[in-house]
């Protein structure tokens, strides 16, 4: 009896990627790029909003400083428009030498939506 020897083939060496692996890599990469694009748009909107809020805070701070430099009888309520923002402030007395000031600063956002911030301070006369 002769035995036939089966030849064992060496495992096939694998070179490169299969098309399935390549497609999965492209899908994963695409999801990452789309997520990055969405995040960058949101960050851009937030930066623009922060810049506008900084301008509003500076406008209100300037208003409070102007009031602090005046005499008590000259501190009154009013409105003004400056640097693309409009502001309205109300003054109420809290005793003889102290005024409470509420300054509302408004502006139009990128989507033409109106935004506003309210600042409050005491002004000593």
Instruction: Give me the sheet containing 98-108, strands edge to edge.
Output: 78-82, 85-93, 98-108, 114-124
Instruction: Write out the two tokens for 28.
Output: 């994963």
Residue-wise pLDDT for 38-73, tens only, equals 898 888 888 878 888 898 999 999 999 999 998 888
CA distances from 79 to 15, 26, 107 (A): 75, 57, 14
pLDDT below 50 — which residues of the chain? Answer: none
d(CA 89, CA 115): 16
d(CA 20, CA 26): 10
First and final C-alpha spacing in the chain? 121
């Amino acid at each position: 009896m002769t035995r036939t020897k089966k030849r064992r083939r060496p495992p096939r060496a694998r070179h490169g990627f299969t098309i399935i692996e390549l497609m999965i890599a492209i899908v994963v990469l695409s999801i990452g790029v789309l997520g990055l694009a969405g995040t960058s748009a949101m960050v851009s909107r937030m930066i623009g909003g922060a810049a506008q809020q900084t301008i509003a805070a500076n406008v209100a701070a300037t208003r409070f400083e102007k009031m602090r430099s005046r005499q008590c009888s000259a501190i009154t309520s009013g409105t003004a428009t400056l640097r693309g923002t409009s502001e309205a402030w109300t003054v109420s007395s809290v005793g003889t030498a102290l005024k409470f000031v509420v300054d509302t600063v408004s502006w139009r956002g990128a989507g033409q939506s109106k935004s506003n911030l309210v600042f409050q301070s005491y002004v000593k006369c």
